[in-house]
Amino acid sequence: MKKVMFTLLACGLAFGMANAKEITIKKAATAPNIDGDIEDFVGDVQAMDQKKGEGPHDNTASFQLTYDDNFVYVAVKVEDPTMDTVQSANVWEKDCVEVFFVLNDTVKDGTTYSNGALGAWQLRKIWGGDMTDQPGKGFKAEEGEIKGGYTQEWKLSWDTLAATGYWGGKQFRFECQNGDNDGSGRKSQNFWNSNADDQWNTILNQGTVKLETAVPSRIVSVSKVKAASSMTITSNGIQFNKAVAEVNVYDITGKLVIKANNTNFVSTAALRNGVYVVKAGNESKKFIK
Neighbours of 93 (CB within 10 A): 17
CB 78 within 8 A of CB 59: yes
**The pLDDT of residue 19:** 67
Binned at pLDDT 50, 70 and 90, residue 16 comes out as: very low
Sign of CA dihedral 157, 159, 164, 165: positive
Strands of the 149-157 sheet, one edge to the other: 46-47, 60-67, 71-79, 149-157, 140-146
pLDDT at 90 over 90: no
Which domains, and CATH codes, for the chain?
A: 20-211 (2.60.40.1190), 222-288 (2.60.40)
Structure confidence by residue, pLDDT tens digits, 116-170: 888 999 999 999 888 888 888 899 999 999 999 999 999 999 999 998 888 999 9
Among candidates 171, 176, 154, 169, which has minimal Cα distance to 208? 171
Q: What's the mean pLDDT when you consider all of the chain? A: 86
pLDDT of residue 22: 97
Sequence-separated (6 or more) residues with CB below 8 Å from residue 166: 104, 105, 106, 119, 219, 252, 275, 286, 288
- Please tell me the distance from the alpha carbon of residue 137 to that of residue 76, in angstroms, as a whole number: 21
Instruction: Return the pLDDT at 229.
Output: 54
Q: Return the higher-pLDDT residue of 72 and 165.
A: 72
| Per-residue pLDDT at 18 exceeds 70 | no
Range with lowest mean pLDDT among 2-6, 73-77, 120-124: 2-6
DSSP-derived secondary structure for 223-247: HHHHHH-SEEE-SSEEEEEEEEEEE
* Pairing verdict, β 22-25 and 207-211: parallel
Helix (H, G, I), strand (E, B) or coil at 3: helix
Q: What average pLDDT does this structure show over 33-42? A: 94
Rounded CA-CA distance 194/16 in Å is 9
Q: The pTM is what? A: 0.73
Model pLDDT for residues 240-258, shown as the tens digit of each residue = 877 788 899 998 888 899 9
The dihedral over CA atoms of 172, 223, 250, 219, expressed in degrees to the nearest 10, equals -10
- Taking only the tens place, the pLDDT of each residue in 112-123 is 998 988 899 999
Q: How many CB atoms lie within 10 A of CB 252?
A: 15
- In contact, 98 and 179? CB cutoff 8 Å: yes
**Across 73-86, average pLDDT:** 91
